[in-house]
Structure 1
């Protein structure tokens, strides 16, 4: 950051949203961050209106429906209001020419907009961005060379509620997210703020709603996740034989998981993670003799590029994230999370917003009688022209010729089909 001869003041104002808690709870698990932010915008309005002055910029990461809430309140107060959003950029010229008092901007204003510093030194943040980098870019709209005032002020209303004597705050969790840094060295020496292991907005919403429900019901408890070790230590030969008798060998487990609906497998593995650990212990042993190891092929592929957001569906031991999270944002999904950076879920429904991913990878991961639903989920979460990579055993399907046709019916265009030892690699794009 350049050294500016400008004072910067960040004012974080607590806003009690207890009156809106029941509306928030009513959203439930099917709600979205946008719906939650609409409710919280109403709670923030008194603070926002109190701090409005001529030439104020209001930032709101989400805009749909929130724009009207903000505009109507400010117009009623006598202010002239304009917009700078992805769809409506009409307010910028009037704001710069002093014909508009308040400019409401979405994420579109966070980058590439210059000139605001000549007329504006106050920014009110209604809906926070999701990453530290976005926050710094937003701040840089007015805290930059050419600022005509001695002080730049950022006002951030932060909602909270006390539920059963415990504090609940969606805004606090987002502020902590903005302060996330992988290491002091990365941030101080290189200026890099790695954000690959942050939860997606959709997952953060689910966490916040689940947190609120537990507080409301008084079900607050500390849960310690047992450490999962792959391979399972062979300390007792009798235990090894017991696991083989209980779950079967590698081929038997593959056949069983392939023929079972993913929801059934997910519930069973959640109740007994040992089965998952047993499978990956056998898988680790089996691949020692393989000429081609699929996840290593995917690592090599990902090492050729940088800056992608990648979904590793059926990540297993999360080897892809381990190898390339320094150059990509990786979301690792599986029935069981091998570590705190992996996400345990049924891959028919992953906690990502639409069109989040640049790349979706299935490396020996189309396991389940309903695996078509995994591919539909990949299609939902991929951006247009996003890449789909599937590596499967060549013997997995009886009719590989039909498989590309079925992929195209799901909305993909198959780019290439390549044989790799006893595996088949299909590359497609979301079309």
Structure 2
């Protein structure tokens, strides 16, 4: 908190909050902000029953002045200059529905006249000053070098996944699966008071088993797991379906824990975990390939080469399941300088389902099935946020408050994106032509 922070003087409808409300309205391009703003002087403005967004210091306004949009607000939240002290989903949902944030396409920056109004507000609130340094959690180092070179990809993966295995265990739970779970039908086998995190582990096991069935796994088959994470799919497939698995990841920390989990499960003779780029895998062919939550790291330009490489690693008749987030909001991709690319997934790119299917078909794969799991990911993310909030103090001790705030913001905002249909997630099942024919109907593997 900067040195200009003032003690709270109680709540009211005048004071700094009223000017902050107008300033945020300028940024969003609307005079109707569905939030209750609380300023550092204790004043409040906005609808009394709306979610609260708290400006804890003048530096929050200064960050927004220098980066008037998602990035400025995100930096202020990560740095602790802004907070959502109540229901974070309600606050972020209200913000995402306001003005320019609700419009499709890239965020429209303020005009010169609007910027002048922001400057005047900053002057009146004593917030004018140099651009504050970004929080240290921003991924500057990971974004150096040629885009999607092996070295830069390794740095980007390390930034995201080498936060600490203990931190991820708090969020993900015993399953250690960091991708969309598959939940039962609404109300199926759940009590009326069930919380989202209660069924997370069972939903993740259901997803792993669904992938195994779609791939048609059976004893003696050899499987490649691209982006194997902490080894959860490899362990499940080897233990339940009798296959041998090679799992590859670019995260050293993931590989260390994955190998321990494989050993604890007594599967070292059937599961090999490598720190290796999928482009360097040279010991095919494999009977099946799983790619669960990995292809988002590949990038649009590299997706055709990714599809071709996996095609070359499969035997004729072998199946690939590609489980990936998709961009559903039109022909343009998210701003590469927005919050998630800078703080969460450096160089990550979401492409549309159509682009992914086109790349796979161009690589000569035959499409067998496509399943959309958008609502499932919203439920998964809400469960992760709940677990993070329940273990907040320990998460801060393990990863630092800034990193914990990054993950809380990213997961809550992402859940809203899935609920609103801005993003989706799809399992695309394909096969390399030749070999044994697949079942006549998809119901044979569901």
TM-score normalised by the chain length of structure 1: 0.36
Larger strand share, 1 or 2: 1
Q: Which has more radius of gyration?
A: 1
| More RCO (CA 8 Å, sep 6+) | 2
Structure that is richer in helix per residue: 2
TM-score (norm 2): 0.35
